[in-house]
Structure 1
């Protein structure tokens, strides 16, 4: 099955040898999105909630470029540099998703690109 790359200028450009997302059949694999402002290429300033909102907004833009929405996401991966901020991240996620919620993992990592405190990736099924 061929891979179809997905790209939008409304999310940060890939900073390595990968696509913002790839469609294989009716499944779309969305690469990790960090809190980078796509207009400036810079990390947004602010607390974990601000960073999470920017990353979810970036993910939403890629979902829409692939012809889907957050209602089509079946799995989400959250990556935080401080698991002590889980409650704040969880509250932001609740603003973006509705029931039935996607499956999810939350992983504390030692570092993220450009010094971000949060990253999100996802798998979406459309059609």
Structure 2
């Protein structure tokens, strides 16, 4: 669901996601783009999956990204760029496998950055930029 900041920028607050934990929106829509904030592995009910395995955390982050895109009227097929932050380069192969399954044939620009410890002890965080507007598929 989108709200308005002003005529040029709208905020996105998916009804099936926990609200942001700080002073930000899950995403904003501006100038034909959806800018998705860094998303963490937090379940829709607000449960932080800090102690979950990397694959569980990565799957939740990707589900959160899809939920934000859909709430913005966009979709995986409209992604232009994805930035992924992981706590260890050893998690890169596992993320790449999950991401390829999640994204399907789509191959947006992407960076995976090993950072060391992430906020709250999470193992993965994802942010993205997509085209706003109707999705072209069910993705």
TM over 0.5: yes
Structure 2 unaligned regions, length at least 5: 1-6, 134-139
Match of 1:16 in 2: 22
Deviation of residue 96 (structure 1)?
Answer: 1.0
SS of the residue aligned with 1:31?
A: strand
What RMSD over aligned residues (CA atoms) do the two structures have, in Å? 1.5
Checking the alignment, whether the CA contact within 8 Å between 1:76 and 1:102 is kept in structure 2 is yes
**Is 1:38 aligned to 2:44, yes or no?**
yes
Relative to structure 1, the CA distance from residue 112 to residue 12 in structure 2 (aligned partners, 3 Å threshold; closer, same or farther) is farther
Match of 1:74 in 2: 80
Match of 1:121 in 2: 127
Give me the TM-score of the superposition, normalised by structure 2. 0.84
Match of 2:60 in 1: 54
Per-residue CA distance 1:21-47 (angstroms, 9 max, x = gap): 000021000011111112133226432
Checking the alignment, whether the CA contact within 8 Å between 1:75 and 1:122 is kept in structure 2 is yes
Give me the TM-score of the superposition, normalised by structure 1. 0.92
Q: Following the alignment from structure 1 to structure 2, what is the Cα–Cα distance between the partners of residues 41 and 73? A: 27
Checking the alignment, whether the CA contact within 8 Å between 1:44 and 1:54 is kept in structure 2 is no
Q: Following the alignment from structure 1 to structure 2, what is the Cα–Cα distance between the partners of residues 112 and 85? A: 13
Checking the alignment, whether the CA contact within 8 Å between 2:50 and 2:120 is kept in structure 1 is no
SS of the residue aligned with 1:49?
A: helix
Q: Which one of 89, 92, 98 corresponds to residue 95 of structure 2?
A: 89
Checking the alignment, whether the CA contact within 8 Å between 1:10 and 1:58 is kept in structure 2 is no
Relative to structure 1, the CA distance from residue 72 to residue 65 in structure 2 (aligned partners, 3 Å threshold; closer, same or farther) is same
